Chain A
Amino acid sequence: MSLFVRKQLPIIIASILGILMILAYFTTFDIFAQFKGIATSWVVIVSAVTVAMGFVYMTNAQIKMYQMNKTPLQLAYTLTTYVFFGAFMIAGLAYKGDVNSPEYQWWFQNIYGNVSATIYAVMYFTLASSAYRTFVISSIESEALVLGGMIYTLRQIPLFQVYMPWIVPLGEWFLLVPNVGGSRGAVIAAAFAALVVGIRTLWGKEVTLEVSS
């Protein structure tokens, strides 16, 4: 197959599609808006069909882990993955209503629901330990970090709201004035960088895509 077909044509397709999407945003021509509607629904389908590839790579990783550590315990870990994979697949396919069936929802709520909620809980610990290490008043910048963090933390704890009522307006002020100023500036700056990446992609000069070719 020619170099053009293997390398350049996919990049040209990306550029053309991107430009058409932008025309849908800027122009009054209905045809572009219709095209945008079709294209955005198509990419969801492409993505959905691709999903089983994850299973291949997951299996690769499981094999790799077992090769690195050939013990009965590691084998048990690996088997656990496939047992639960099978259980969810069966629960999701065998019952009426598939993923909405009570049987599937039982699995989903008791495992997925609890684990996802607990993951957020674990973050409390990681945030607390990182603050123990980092929230040290050693420079103007770190003082600003500590001030923004601690005052708003105390503002959210009911006990401090009652016994230190001034913390409420002060916490709100930090949140609604310096926080808004800083974050708006950061968002704008990052947005320009994102735009440049976008324009470079349309130009056909995005290095990432070139490398992948």
Chain B
Amino acid sequence: MIIIKTGTYLDLTLLIVLIVAMYYYNKVALAGKLPPLRTIPAIGAITEGVGKSIEENKPVHYAMGASGGQLYTQLLSMTLVALAFLNYISKLCAKYEAKLIVHMPYQAESIPLIEAMVRDGYKSEGKPELFDPGCLRYYGYGALTWTQSVTASYDTEGVGLNLSIGIFYSDCPISLEMAKIKGGLNVGGTGRWIMVYAFAMMCDYVFLGQEIYTAGAMVSENPLMLAGVFVEEVGKYFSYILLALGFIIATMGVSAVNAFFAL
């Protein structure tokens, strides 16, 4: 009896390759033997931005997108990365005692995770008393109320650093540009390639596409997350191999290519 669906063999192969690679690199990471990663300049800019905020006596703004709290869709991974950055920026704000404002996404189901990340950030720096629940801002449904409210917040409260990481749609061209106009240091990125242009054009420091995931691992300093970066590289080699195999099979014609990728 065939238990694996036709048309998913290649998918399964790739998944197994990644799982094996993760097992291997997790062991390497726990043994403390991971080689260093290429630096991403935007990471350093986050600390710089917190310093700037303190110097100017303005708050640090963190945004994960108007629709950035997706917990059960295909974009979940970006929500998790955005939460990792939220934890990081909370720690930095607690450490340097900078004021933090979190512009929450409209998905109310993500609020418990968001609050937990911020609380943990303050707690792990030994300053839980500095956490202010009023820093978590919720603006109702959709991008239009979110973009307007974020802009209003920049206006009334000022903006030192604006860190925007997560799932962004047509909300970021306004929030990023307004932060820039109000004198904020913009740092951010999204995994949604179609919107990366806004970050590339409006941010002082940008994480291009996949860089948010790698940067997320770097700021966490967690060996297992860093190991994930190496697993991603294994995946990329797999894609090169698949591409090469495809071209070899292409010499047998279009139908052969279709048959191969239908595996």
Contact = CB atoms under 8 A, between A and B. Distances in A.
The answer to whether A and B touch directly, with their CB atoms under 8 angstroms apart, is: yes
B77 A186 contact: no
A200 interface: yes
B187 interface: no
A194 interface: yes
Contacts of B196: 186
A110 B133 CA distance: 34
B135 to A, nearest CB: 8
A79 interface: no
B156 A212 contact: no
A6 interface: no
A47 B202 contact: no
A123 B176 CA distance: 11
B249 interface: no
B144 interface: yes
Given A58-B138, A199-B18, A208 B83 contact: yes
Interface residues of B, number: 81
B244 interface: no
Given A27-B3, A196-B213, A200-B22, A212 B117 contact: yes
B235 A211 contact: no
A76 interface: no
Interface in B55-97: 71-72, 76-78, 80-81, 83-84, 87
Nearest to B106: A54
Interface in A47-105: 47, 50-54, 57-58, 60-61, 63-65, 67-69
Contacts of B173: 123, 126-127, 130
A57 B140 CA distance: 10
Contacts of A196: 18, 22, 213, 228-229, 231-232, 235
A131 interface: yes
Interface in A29-58: 29, 40, 43, 46-47, 50-54, 57-58
A205 B134 contact: no
Interface of A: 22, 25-29, 40, 43, 46-47, 50-54, 57-58, 60-61, 63-65, 67-69, 112, 115-116, 119-120, 122-123, 126-127, 129-131, 133-135, 145, 183, 186-190, 192-201, 203, 205-209, 211-212
